[in-house]
Structure formats: structure tokens, C-alpha cells
Amino acid sequence: MNVTHKNKTLATFLASVFGGIGAHRFYLYGKKDKLAWLHVVLFPLSIFAGFIAALVIGLTPDEKWDVQHNAGSGRQSDSGWLVIILVVITFAGGAIALIAAIARTFDLLFTGGAYG
């Protein structure tokens, strides 16, 4: 049985950029993954879940990643600085999006939507 090697940096990128539609789950688990399809169905709500998944994937040690996703591939992961840069950018983007969502919610609740 030929098992493909799953790249942690690519999975982190997919979760960070396309996590709202479950691209990282499709990459890791295939088209039969029910949680990936749930991301597609709940797209606007699952954007933050994609950010969290990117952080979890990116911060997973390479050894643990290989046990979970590359057990039969015969290769070992060697993540470099790119995955750390992706994690930092994801954290910053997620924080900005969360602050914007909180600010918009307070705007709508307490001022009647003064900004549009």
C-alpha cells in the first residue's frame, strides 16, 4: 500500500487561507471526511475554526505529525521556518478578525450600527 506523505507546511497554509471551506481537512483526510463537508456548509462560521486548525497543525511537533499523518509514508517531516511564519501570520490575522468581529457586534448592539 502506497501512502502519500502529508506536508505539514502545506496543511498549515490550507487551514490558514482556505480553512473556512475545509481545504486542510480535504487534503489530510480526503473527500469522505464529514467535518470537511461541515466546513463547506457552515462556511462563514467556520473561518475562525480554520484559523485555530492552522495554529494547531503548525504547532504540532514533526514527530507527532508523522505518527498521525505519515505513519506509512516512509518519510519524515522536516518543517522549517516557513511553518512558523505561517503560524505568526495566522495568529495576527485571526486576532485582527476577532477584534473586528467584536467591534462590529458592539457597534450593532449598542449604537444601532453607526458604521453602516
CB 87 within 8 A of CB 12: yes
- As a whole number of angstroms, the distance between CA 111 and CA 97 comes to 20
Return the pLDDT at 43: 85
Return the pLDDT at 74: 78
- As a whole number of angstroms, the distance between CA 93 and CA 84 comes to 14
Question: What DSSP letter does each residue of 77-100 carry, written as one string?
Answer: ----HHHHHHHHHHHHHHHHHHHH
What is the residue extent of each domain of the chain?
8-110
> Has residue 48 got a pLDDT over 90?
no
Q: Indicate the burial class of 53 (C-beta count within 10 angstroms; 0-12, 13-18, 19 or more).
A: buried
Distances (CA, A) of 87 to 27, 42, 94: 18, 24, 10
Cα 21 to its chain centre, rounded Å, is 10
Q: Indicate yes or no: pTM above 0.85.
A: no
pLDDT tens track for 49-95: 899 999 999 999 999 998 998 888 778 888 889 999 999 999 999 89
